[in-house]
Chain A
Amino acid sequence: MALTGANPKGSMRTAISRVKGLGAAHHGVEHWWIHRVTAVANIPLVVAFVIIVVSLAGRPYPDAVRVLSNPLVAVLLVLCIFSVTNHMRLGMQIIIEDYVHDKGLKITAVIANAFFTIAIAAACLFAVLKVSFGRVPL
């Protein structure tokens, strides 16, 4: 279909709205795109996380602190926390928007989702940094 003129046949959209490409939600494909970017990032980061957890299974406290004090481990965990918490906020929002139809309940759920995921991110980041900076008793 040739997109000549302001309104191609059958479309109610204006030329400027097509140029901006932001759609009805005014956010374009940002949600979809970041969900995919974090999905890709999650693969190596979660694999690294699993390896770190497995290597610490049943090990005493000082060993765990020593492993998390390693800058590479700490940075991997920080990246993992950022990627995973963003991914789960976006994913849960999709589920909420698909299944919760009451408008007030939907807004409440979307806000609760943001609060929960950011709280998890803050708690995990604080813990990793505190341990990594050596601010824990051995």
Chain B
Amino acid sequence: MAMSVVHRVTGTGLYLGTVLVAVWLLSLASGPAAYDWVQWAFGSILGRLVLFIYTWVLMHHMLGGVRHLVWDFGHGLEPGTRIAMARFTLIGSVLLTLGIWVVALMMR
């Protein structure tokens, strides 16, 4: 129940966050000055915090979505399995987010 609402909340967050993706791509299409400005904004502490949360929300929604696809096939509806899948979504999304950021920071 709670995780179902979370799926909608994360979906809405990702929905609004696509503005950031559009800004990034449009700055790339606009030239070096615009791109450097956006790079600076996204690279600032606030920018990184927003992108970090966005990464986690994205991973959470992705794993939560896989859970829903499993349910669509009629599997994993038992109480125990449901709790296990919810736990997997939470832990998995945190691990994936940390992994992505470790790689991204190491590649700089």
Please report A residues at the B interface, Cβ cutoff 8 Å: 36, 39-40, 42-43, 46, 50, 53-55, 57-58, 61, 64-65, 68, 84-85, 88, 91-92, 95, 117, 120, 123-124, 126-128, 130-131, 136-137
Contacts and interface: CB of A to CB of B under 8 A. Distances in A.
Contacts, number: 85
A127 B12 contact: no
A137 B18 contact: no
A137 B62 contact: no
Chain A contact residues: over half helix, strand or loop, or mixed? helix
Nearest to B31: A137
Residue in B15, B36, B68 with the greatest tally of chain A CB atoms within 10 Å: B15
17 contacts: A39-B65, A40-B69, A42-B65, A43-B66, A50-B55, A55-B107, A58-B43, A61-B35, A61-B36, A84-B18, A88-B11, A88-B15, A88-B18, A92-B15, A123-B26, A131-B28, A136-B31
A57 B35 CA distance: 12
Interface in B20-58: 21-22, 25-26, 28-32, 35-36, 39, 43, 55, 58
B25 A95 contact: no
Chain B contact residues: over half helix, strand or loop, or mixed? helix
Contacts of B62: 42-43, 46
B14 interface: yes
